[in-house]
Structure formats: C-alpha cells, structure tokens
Amino acid sequence: MAERRLLVLFGSQTGTAQDTAERVGREAQRRHLRCRVEALDSCDVANLIHEPLVVFVCATTGQGDPPDNMKMFWRFLFRKNLPAGSLCQLDYAVLGLGDSSYPKFNFVAKKLHKRLLQLGGNPLLPVALGDDQHDLGPDAVVDPWLIALWDKILALYPLPVGLEIISPDVRLPPKYTLHYLPEDSPHPKSDLLQPAAPQAAPCKLHPFAARMVSNQRVTAQSHFQDVRLIEFDIAGSGITFSAGDVVMIQPQNCPEDVQQFCQLLRLEPHRRFVLEPTEPGTSLPPLLPQPCTIQYLVTHYLDISCVPRRSFFELLAYFSTNELEREKLQEFSSAQGQEELYSYCNRPRRTTLEALWDFPHTTCAIPADYLLDLIPRIRPRAFSIASSMLAHPERMQILVAVVRYKTRLSKPRRGLCSTWLASLNPEQGDVRVPLWVKKGGMKFPADPATPVIMIGPGTGVAPFRAAIQERVALGCRGNCLFFGCRHQSKDFYCQTEWEELVTKGFLTLFTAFSRDQEEKVYVQHRIRENRKLVWELLSSENAHVYLAG
C-alpha cells in the first residue's frame, strides 16, 4: 500500500496562510497521515519530485507578489529549464488566500496552480480562492474546499484497517512537551543575543543585537503623534545597505503584559524548561534557547498582543472546564460563529491577552505544553532605513511613528514594536535591539545625473532621507522632494537638514502643511502648482518618480 504521507507548504506574509496550513496539518493528523507543515522557502524544492502528495497554501501580497518566505521557491519553479513532466508523480492542491478588493486577487495561487500543471502535476481539486472581503472571511471558501480535499485524499489513501478518523471532540497531542528542570540545576552562562560579530550577514535566524545610540522624539510634545528618530550602532555586524532597503526588527512584549500573562496562566516566570518534540523529526523553534525560562518564552517568543484567530479559540475550547465558557469558545471556532468572532476580536483589535482575561476558568487550565500550539511567535516588523552609510558609516537610523489608536475597548490599542522601541532609553544603559536588513523594493538610479522626484508625506519620507543623503554624498544635485505633514511647527521632520541642503543647492523642496491654513493643502496640490517643473524633469531629463506613504 502506498505510503500515507502529506507535505503542506505555505507562503505567508502576515501569518494567515501559516495558520491555515497548520489547520490542514491537524486535519491530516486526525486522518492518520504522516504530515509535515513547512514554509515554502524552508523546504528543498528539488525534493518535490519525490513527494507524492502536497497541499500548497499561499497568500498574495502587494500587487500580486509572492510572500517573502516563498520567493526563492517562486524563482526556482519558474526557471525555463525545468522539464515539462518533472512533477508527473505529484498529486497536489492549491489553496489561495487573498483580497478581492485588490486587482490581482489571488494571483500567486492561480499562477502556482497553472505552473504545477505545466510541470506535469495532477491537481486533486480546482484552486481555492479564499477572500478576505467575504462576510465570513476566507473560511467561506476554505471550509467546503477542505471537506472535498479530504474526500479525494481518502479515496487515494484509504484509512488503514481498524483505524477511524480521530473525532473533532478529541484533543490532539501538543507539538512539544515542556520538561521543567529542577530548581537547583546549573544555569548556562550564554546569552542568546551575543553582540559578537556573526559568521555571515545577520538574518532572521541570526539577528544582530545592535546597540541603540539615540532615541529622539521629532514631533512637538503638543502634537498628537509621537514620532521617533532612532539611531543604531551596527559596527562589526557585517550589515550593509543602500537607499530603499528595509530593516527588520524583532520586538518583545512589555514587562506588565508578561507579568499578567504568567499570573493568569499560573506560570512561574523563572522556571526553566527544555522542549521535546512529540513527533520525531520535528525541529525545535528557532531562536528559543535550550534550556529556556518561562519569562524568556513569553517576553521574546509568544505574541500575546496579536489579535487571536479562529484556531486559538478552537484549541482553547478543549481545555475549558466551564460550560458557559466552552460554549462561547466553540461558537467562536465554528463556521457559523465567524461574524460574532469578527465583532469580538478583529473589529475592536482585541489582543490574545485580553481574550484570555475574558475566559478565566479556561485560561488557568491551559497546560504549559500547549503554549506554542496556542499562541504564534512574535513576527518581525519592517522599517524603511532613513539614513545612508555614506553619510553615517557604521550607523543606521529609522523614523518610527508610535502606533496608538482608540477602538470601542476602553484601553487604547498600541503597536507592539513601535511602543517597545519608544520605551527604550539608551541613556540609562546598554540597550540592544535584534535586527537584520532586507533588500527593499525601491531602486534609485545608478546614473547620478538622473534627477529624482520623491513624494513622501509623513514618515513616508524615511527612504527618501536615505536616498538624498546617499545622492548628496555622491555629488548629485537633481533631488526634488515633496513633503507633507499637518503643521510646520509640530511634525516637519528633519526640517533643518532639508533647509541646509536647499541652501547648498542639493535639494529642491516643496512642503504642504495641511492644517496650517483654512483650506487643507496636500502634496498633490503642490505637485499641481509645480506641474511645469515636474513635466520638464520627466520629459527632458528622464526623471524617476518615487512615492512612499
């Protein structure tokens, strides 16, 4: 009998496709299939020719682009020299997650499905096109498609004699078990974030612990928004970057939230543990030291401030000893309860920690073994680099708007990374921030004589500050910037820097301060007023236009 094994590969930007892929993995487990769930770029694409059965779950980002964790796979798959029948032994299915308000709705899933077909793959089902815009979200498409998928798979790979599908009422084992170490066991000396020079350029699995040099508020104290210009020392890191590149920062939870979480779940923050995979062959979570403390796990790893997904409530229901709480949790995890869940979680941006407060009987019964199944890991955040290495060698600067807004919940919502960064004070000691650099989507002209028109309202000006610094260091004069903000006196970032460059003849600057007069004035008004100059630069000098918001 054919080996009953399934590979689930995902391409995910915000975590939704990964969450759905893990759901497919759990449903496979219930059908006694040997199943691996991996990011597309973590798997060796050349091995696809040996895989009998693969389900692809992929999101579409931006203008029809593949997510970051499937870009290498994407390039490989579309190589011209791949033989037409190379995947003829592969049974596959593609599940797409997208948003129909974008013109290239589910473009990646459609294109992947077509390419696998060209390479000889056998589709089990038509491609599924989950849509965020549907009243019930992508699950409106995903739920019935998965039912059809399991019918097809079980027809090809029937259940072994004597085995039944594990009922949804039965809780699956956790991915890892947590073994507490005796209180008196010796502590290892190593610190995970060694600022030592890495072997290669820092990356997601090996971030560089950069020292924060300064953290300066660049908006007036009376302004509603707190915006910071933050500088890091990257000497000895091996990091290089150019204008348009992006820095990825790995944030952490605030101490008050960590303390509350530990109290709610009755966890001892200083207890140390080692993780053991339940299934042999499962790799340990990256960036978690072994042994590890509960405090470290909750501070650096578990995303207790994210808005919880349907799968969170589904797993939580299994631990509930309280009938009322269990009924509510089961409703939130059912297809019919999705509108209710949206109103409870997504619309008010309720966090995982706040949801746990609302189910106290269930929360104190959560076994520690299930923490990594229940709560996703903290995702890194991307910021445009706002400085040039030519102007500031061994330094990197970013412009950060601290995210804070109101919903119907009494407590204001706060951005995890921006709030954490704003709270750090390098004057009070050695402050380290884990980071690495990624190539950005903006490429500035190689020919220094080519003029550039940059339109950067608000913090959108960050990549243009890097570009202007870089171009000025190379002696380029054709720099034209349209900058917009609310008030000249409150949020005109880098004002003195721009004015100096204007005086020296390196920059042509147009500003729009929307609230400084009766009529609101925005950058588009300034572009219209200066249309002659803009057209002249475009038609006669082949200027490049860049826009960031």
Q: Residue 82, class by beta-carbon neighbours within 10 Å (0-12 exposed, 13-18 middle, 19+ buried)?
A: middle
pLDDT digits (tens, 9 = 90+) for 492-517: 999 999 999 999 999 999 999 999 99
pLDDT bin (cut points 50, 70, 90) of residue 188 is low
Q: Are 372 and 174 in contact (CB under 8 A)?
A: yes
Question: What φ, ψ does residue 323 adopt, rounded to 5°?
Answer: -60, -45
Considering only CA atoms, which of 424, 420, 436, 383 is closest in space to residue 210? 436
Residue type for position 459: T
194 pLDDT more than 70: no
Listed by start position, the domains of the chain span 5-156, 208-251+380-438, 255-374, 452-547
pLDDT digits (tens, 9 = 90+) for 256-295: 999 999 999 999 999 999 999 998 888 899 889 999 999 9
Q: What is the pLDDT of residue 184?
A: 77
| 5-156 against 452-547: fold identical | yes
193 pLDDT more than 70: no
Instruction: State the pTM of this model.
Output: 0.92
Question: What φ, ψ does residue 272 adopt, rounded to 5°?
Answer: -105, 150
**In 208-350, which ranges are continuous DSSP H helix?**
255-264, 294-296, 310-319, 323-332, 338-341
Least reliable range by pLDDT among 127-136, 193-202, 243-252, 487-496: 193-202
Question: HEC string of 362-425?
Answer: HHCCCCHHHHHHHCCECCCEEEEECCCCCCCCCEEEEEEECCEECCCCCCCEECHHHHHHHHCC
Q: What is the pLDDT of residue 189?
A: 53
Class for domain 208-251+380-438, per CATH?
A: mainly beta
pLDDT digits (tens, 9 = 90+) for 131-175: 999 877 898 999 999 999 999 999 999 999 999 999 999 999 999
pLDDT bin (cut points 50, 70, 90) of residue 183 is confident
pLDDT bin (cut points 50, 70, 90) of residue 246 is very high
Cα separations in angstroms, 142 against 57, 97, 138: 11, 9, 6
**H or E element that contains 290:** none
Collapse the DSSP code of 91 into the 3-class scheme (helix H, G, I; strand E, B; otherwise coil) and give the result.
Answer: strand
**H or E element that contains 200:** none
Q: How far apart are CA 256 and CA 425, in angstroms?
A: 17
In this prediction, residues 60-66 reach a mean pLDDT of 89
CATH of domain 452-547: 3.40.50.80
DSSP assignments along 479-535, one per residue: EEEEEEES-TTTS-TTHHHHHHHHHTTSEEEEEEETTSSSS---HHHHHHHTHHHHH
Helices 139-156/16-30 angle, 10° precision: 40
Structure tokens that stand for 506 in this block = 């390196």
CATH of domain 255-374: 1.20.990.10
pLDDT digits (tens, 9 = 90+) for 297-321: 999 999 999 999 999 999 999 999 9
Average pLDDT, the chain: 94
Q: What is the pLDDT of residue 7?
A: 96
In this prediction, residues 58-82 reach a mean pLDDT of 92
Considering only CA atoms, which of 56, 58, 64, 45 is closest in space to residue 14? 58
Considering only CA atoms, which of 439, 419, 59, 116 is closest in space to residue 253? 419
pLDDT digits (tens, 9 = 90+) for 369-388: 999 999 999 999 999 999 99
The domain at 5-156 falls in which architecture?
3-Layer(aba) Sandwich (3.40)
Q: What is the pLDDT of residue 196?
A: 46
Collapse the DSSP code of 336 into the 3-class scheme (helix H, G, I; strand E, B; otherwise coil) and give the result.
Answer: coil
Considering only CA atoms, which of 350, 341, 363 is closest in space to residue 260? 363
